């Protein structure tokens, strides 16, 4: 995640790319339909909180969340972006989805307008910080929203900011030494609190290196009795960085707080039906979040799960591995539609008797049968071809099954398994592939498919 660093221009967030690069095959000036996803800085839930359960779930937006929603609606008014049309959007606690269409060729790439949108949101965040307006009926301050690290704490942070925190910040500014104040200012600025921004600004403006005395500041020669200001030479009053408030107009403005991560994710719609599906996905985002909150164990990636003699990574209902009846679902790519239909009916009969099917869902027949089993309400164990995100991947913590598999997972009818790397180093499978293709086994999809089917046998028979 981006970290706050001090530069010659003040405190700035380190520029990091947390998403994949844009599609190299696509012209981002051309008319297209996009699904844009932007996450808040460090995934802090500063835009709202989840309320309600199930079908009644909704997001109660904070002041910043409302400002972001307004900026989304204003996107088609940006100069050069007037040909865009917003179809649908949703503001979630720590991210947003925007479904839009560009009707005419743009003067600049899409990323330029996305960056401008982010800047507008950051400017609104700065305005709210300066105004310190209550953001909800209970009086949450903007500073609290920007510093919330856990979404459940939003409900706890609806009371006005504690005076204890303010007093502690004032104490740090008045009692600490210049050196420790600078360090405290840096730490406070990183935390993103209002006191932090103010302390960082005071430290930067009022503690120049040349003004820090080696010994305690000498007592002021100004007499205790009232003396006209004009009779006291300005040079005779020592420059103490903590003796008086700096005039508001002379304080340097704090760096505008970032609302979103520097990068974003885009999905380019290319097939019929995607627009309708994504509109539904956006509308159901709050409900899906409520499902994940209600079933956290079903959406947690688990490592070092023993399957046979292998250590695997899984997500979903682990108890499916304890079903007494497990069968491998494997279909040849040469099966005719009639043969696939016949096999589908036989699998439904077997599943109705209590069997759980294990499949990599690679061939067309396997996909059709898995879909039929899922729609009929039967559980499935699916082997992933590409595995889960790695632990150091920004998406690791937020990984979830896509599409209809999300619902199946929430209902406890799905287990996803990432086969161990050893399965893709099987000498027996290498010999089979080389004998048929005559090329290096690891360069073929066939090798991976055979390895996945081989592991399916292990899962079914352990």
Beta bridge partners, 310, equal: 307
- In terms of average pLDDT, the best of 229-233, 317-321, 420-424, 450-454 is 317-321
Q: Which residues contact 387 (CB under 8 A, 6 or more apart)?
A: 313, 418, 419
With 70 as the cut, is the pLDDT of residue 346 above it? yes
Q: pLDDT band for 88, please (50, 70, 90 cuts).
A: very high
Say how far apart CA 98 and CA 86 lie, in whole Å.
7
Predicted confidence at residue 404, as pLDDT, reads 78
Predicted confidence at residue 90, as pLDDT, reads 97
With 90 as the cut, is the pLDDT of residue 437 above it? no
H helices of 105-229, in order, are 110-131, 142-147, 153-156, 163-175, 178-191, 194-206
Average the pLDDT over each of 7-16, 192-201, 448-457 and give the range with the smallest value. 192-201
Predicted confidence at residue 387, as pLDDT, reads 81
Share of the chain above pLDDT 90, in %: 39
Q: Contact, 242 vs 177, CB < 8 A?
A: no
Average pLDDT, integer, range 96-104: 96
Tokens of 79: 């100069």
Q: Tens digits of per-residue pLDDT, 242-256?
A: 334 444 444 444 566
Q: Tens digits of per-residue pLDDT, 182-215?
A: 444 434 333 343 343 333 334 444 444 444 444 4
Instruction: Choose among 419, 455, 46, 86: nearest CA to 282.
Output: 86
Q: Tens digits of per-residue pLDDT, 255-309?
A: 667 899 988 999 999 888 889 989 999 999 999 999 889 988 899 899 889 988 8
Summary mean pLDDT of the chain: 74
Q: pLDDT band for 320, please (50, 70, 90 cuts).
A: very high
Say how far apart CA 381 and CA 361 lie, in whole Å.
10
With 60 as the cut, is the pLDDT of residue 153 above it? no
With 50 as the cut, is the pLDDT of residue 236 above it? no
Q: Contact, 154 vs 84, CB < 8 A?
A: no
pTM above 0.75, yes or no: no
Q: Contact, 206 vs 241, CB < 8 A?
A: yes
Q: Tens digits of per-residue pLDDT, 129-148?
A: 888 655 443 444 455 555 54
Q: Return the domain boundaries, the chain.
A: 1-207+239-294, 297-461
CA–CA distance from 235 to each of 71, 220, 232, 238, 241 (Å)?
Answer: 50, 11, 9, 7, 15
Predicted confidence at residue 419, as pLDDT, reads 83
Instruction: Choose among 151, 110, 158, 146: nearest CA to 260.
Output: 146
Predicted confidence at residue 426, as pLDDT, reads 58
Say how far apart CA 9 and CA 455 lie, in whole Å.
56
């Amino acid at each position: 995640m981006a970290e706050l660093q001090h530069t010659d221009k003040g405190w700035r967030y380190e520029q990091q790319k947390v998403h994949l690069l844009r599609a190299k095959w696509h012209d981002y000036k051309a008319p297209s339909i996009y699904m844009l996803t932007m996450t808040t800085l460090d995934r802090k839930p500063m835009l709202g909180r989840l309320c309600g359960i199930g079908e009644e779930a909704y997001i109660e937006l904070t002041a910043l969340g409302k400002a972001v929603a307004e900026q989304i609606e204003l996107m088609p008014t940006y100069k050069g972006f007037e040909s865009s049309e917003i179809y649908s959007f949703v503001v979630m606690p720590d991210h947003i989805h925007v479904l839009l269409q560009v009707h005419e060729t743009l003067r600049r790439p899409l990323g330029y307008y996305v960056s401008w949108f982010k800047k507008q949101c950051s400017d609104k965040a700065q305005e709210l910080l300066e105004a310190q307006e209550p953001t909800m009926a209970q009086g949450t301050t903007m500073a609290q929203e920007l510093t919330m690290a856990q979404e459940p704490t939003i409900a706890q942070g609806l009371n006005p900011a504690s005076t204890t925190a303010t007093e502690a910040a004032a104490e740090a500014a008045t009692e600490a030494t210049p050196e420790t104040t600078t360090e405290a200012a840096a730490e406070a600025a990183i935390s993103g609190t209002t006191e932090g921004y103010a302390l960082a600004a005071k430290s930067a403006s009022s503690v120049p290196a040349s003004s820090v005395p080696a010994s305690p500041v000498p007592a002021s020669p100004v007499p205790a009795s009232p003396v006209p200001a004009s009779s006291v030479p300005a040079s005779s009053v020592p420059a103490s960085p903590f003796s008086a408030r700096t005039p508001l107009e002379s304080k340097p403005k704090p760096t505008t707080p970032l609302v979103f991560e520097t990068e974003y994710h885009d999905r380019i719609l290319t097939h019929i039906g995607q627009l309708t599906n994504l509109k539904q996905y956006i509308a159901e985002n709050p409900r899906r979040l409520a499902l994940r909150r209600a079933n956290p164990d079903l959406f947690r990636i688990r490592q070092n799960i023993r399957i046979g003699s292998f250590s695997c990574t899984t997500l979903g209902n682990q108890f499916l591995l304890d079903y007494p009846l497990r069968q491998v679902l494997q279909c040849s790519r040469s099966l005719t539609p009639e043969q696939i239909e016949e096999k589908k009916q036989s699998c439904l009969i077997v599943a109705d008797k209590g069997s759980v099917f294990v499949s990599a869902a690679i061939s067309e027949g396997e996909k059709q049968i898995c879909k039929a089993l899922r729609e009929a309400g039967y559980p499935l164990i699916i082997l992933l071809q590409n595995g889960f995100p790695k632990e150091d991947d920004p998406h690791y913590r937020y990984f979830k099954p896509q599409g209809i598999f999300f619902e199946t997972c929430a209902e406890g009818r799905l287990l996803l398994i990432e086969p161990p790397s050893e399965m893709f180093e099987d000498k027996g499978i290498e010999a089979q592939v080389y004998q048929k293709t005559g090329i290096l086994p690891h360069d073929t999809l066939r090798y991976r498919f055979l390895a996945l089917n081989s592991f399916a046998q292990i899962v079914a028979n352990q």
